[in-house]
Amino acid sequence: MPINSSLGTQQTSQRLLRYSTAISKCSVQSIAYEPVGFESTAVTSQNELFTLRGKVNIRSDELDLENTRILIDDGQYVGFLHSDGTFTIPGLTSGSYVVEISAPRNVYEPVRVDINTKGKIRTRRLNLIQPSDITILRYPLNFESKGYPNYFFKREQFRIMDILLSPMVLMMALPLVIMFVLPKLVSQDPELQRELEQSTNFLPQNQNLPSISEMMYNFVDGGKKKPTANKRQDGQRRK
Of 193, 226, 191, 228, the closest CA to residue 208 belongs to 228
What is the rounded CA–CA span in Å between residue 145 and residue 127?
18
What is the model's pLDDT at position 42?
A: 29
Q: What percent of the chain has pLDDT over 70?
A: 61
Task: State residue 57's pLDDT score.
Answer: 86
Look at residue 98 in the predicted model and tell me its pLDDT. Answer: 92
| 69-103 tens-digit pLDDT | 899 998 889 988 888 889 999 988 989 999 999 88
User: What interhelical angle do 190-202 and 167-188 show, nearest 10?
Assistant: 100
pTM: 0.47
- Asked if residues 54 and 87 have their Cβ atoms less than 8 Å apart, the reply is yes
User: How long is the chain?
Assistant: 239
d(CA 71, CA 97): 10
Instruction: Kindly report, residue by residue over 200-227, the tens digit of the pLDDT.
Output: 665 555 556 556 666 666 766 655 555 5
As its CATH architecture, domain 50-144 has: Sandwich (2.60)
CA nearest to 85, candidates 146, 147, 142, 148: 142
Element (H, E) at 230: helix 229-238
